[in-house]
Amino acid sequence: MPENKVGVVGLGNMGGGIARNFKKVGVPLMVWDVAPAARNAFMETSGVEIAPPGEMAASCGTMFFVVPATPEIASCFDGEDGVLAKGGKNLVIYDFTTSDPVETKKIAARAAEKGIAYMDAGMSGGATGADAGTLTLMIGGDKAAFERTKTQLDAIAKQIFHIGPSGAGHTLKLIHNMVCHTVFLSTCEGGRMAEAAGIKVEDMIKVFNLSNARSYATEVRFPKHIISGKWDARSRVYNLRKDLTMAVSMADALKAKVPLGTVTRDFLNVAMDQGMTDTDFSRIYERFDEIVAGVGKK
């Protein structure tokens, strides 16, 4: 089993960019996606093999799962042709989902029984960062396995942090997303208030970006995806609500108080009630007043 051979499972907005960046640096690469169209996009790419996760586990030193959540990974673990049956003793798996750390620890324990290191790696940077190879990674799991595979991560990430034991990466990712999405909604609120006062949202964003109110929402989301009129943040309202639901649930388990995170979750619930489940989340700004009216009726 070549230590430097890499496998990527999940070739969507995030996984596709990650796989292409591994290809750019010339590592031997295997890819898979449940959607034929996604994997067929790599069919004619030289140096890239298409193989299911079990076969990938038998051939690769490192695997990256870039799928919706833990259940999708768990389904790849089972059976005679699954990852746990086929994976070698030195296999390292990176879980790039945004998942419940409790479930992460359970699946990591299953992998450990087979001698497989399971690393939970929260990502920041979105699909744009995945395309550019500039992600920020927050990683939990075995430190020795991290050190052994860290150089491979340079192809896909600009900032890489080992946070702590299994579950630590996904814990910080949920906290990160709770803060990120709450700040985004607050910026939407400010933009609507500015417009009501006759101030252009473009001017508000320019000022914020040169002052203490700047954030990723003001530096990237508003200029590139909202003010531009493109509405292409490349993530659904559903994804934001999923993250906030898990974050608030985790806070409850930790007995931590997150009233602002809870309000953000409830706001996103109303957006979904209004039919925005599969809508690009940048359009929350476009429909902000409508969602606020719905919140008032709850």
pLDDT in tens, 102-144: 999 999 999 999 999 999 999 999 999 999 999 999 999 999 9
pTM for the model: 0.94
Half-sphere exposure of 102 (CA within 13 A, CB side): 7
| pLDDT for res 116 | 97
User: What digits encode the pLDDT tens for the residues 26-39?
Assistant: 999 999 999 999 99
The 3-class SS string of 98-140 reads CCCHHHHHHHHHHHHHCCCEEEEEEEECHHHHHHHCCEEEEEE
Q: What is the CA radius of gyration of the chain?
A: 20
CA 34 – CA 50 distance, rounded (Å): 11
> What's residue 37's pLDDT?
96
Asked if pLDDT for residue 1 goes beyond 80, the answer is no
Structural domains in the chain, CATH included, are 6-165 (3.40.50.720), 171-297 (1.10.1040.10)
Q: Could you count the other beta carbons within 10 Å of the beta carbon of residue 8?
A: 30
Residues 6+ apart with CB under 8 A from 50: 30, 31, 32, 39, 42, 43
pLDDT digits (tens, 9 = 90+) for 155-196: 999 999 999 999 999 999 999 999 999 999 999 999 999 999
Q: 217-261: per-residue pLDDT in tens? A: 999 999 999 999 999 999 999 999 999 999 999 999 999 999 999
DSSP 8-state code for residue 165: S
pLDDT, residue 154, reads: 97
- Measured in residues, the chain has a length of 298
Predicted local confidence at residue 2, as pLDDT: 55
pLDDT at site 4: 83
Query: Average of pLDDT values for 287-297?
Result: 93
Q: What is the mean pLDDT of the chain?
A: 96
Residue type at 234 in one-letter notation = R
The mean pLDDT value for 264-291 works out to: 98
Q: Which helix (H) or strand (E) holds 24?
A: helix 15-24
> Distance between alpha carbon 234 and the CA centroid of its chain, in Å?
12
97 closest CA partner among 80, 74, 79: 74
Measured CA to CA in angstroms, residue 22 lies from 18, 63, 147, 263 at distances of 6, 12, 18, 39
Structure tokens given for 294: 């719905």
Q: What is the pLDDT of residues 60-85, one digit of tens each?
A: 999 999 999 999 999 999 999 999 99
Collect all residues with Cβ–Cβ distance below 8 Å to 293 and sequence separation of at least 6: none
* CA angle centred on 193, ends 187 and 199, rounded to 5°: 100
Query: CA-to-CA distance for 287 and 274, rounded, in angstroms?
Result: 10
6-9 β-sheet, strand order: 48-50, 29-32, 6-9, 62-65, 92-95, 117-124, 135-140, 157-164
8-state DSSP, 280:
B
Work out the average pLDDT over 189-208. Answer: 98
- The CA distance from 30 to 62, in Å, is 10
Q: Are strands 29-32 and 6-9 parallel, antiparallel or unpaired?
A: parallel
Contact 185, 221 (CB under 8 A): no
Question: Considering only CA atoms, which of 138, 285, 135 is closest in space to residue 223?
Answer: 285
- Residue 52 confidence (pLDDT) above 90: yes
Give CA–CA dist 236/68, Å, rounded: 12
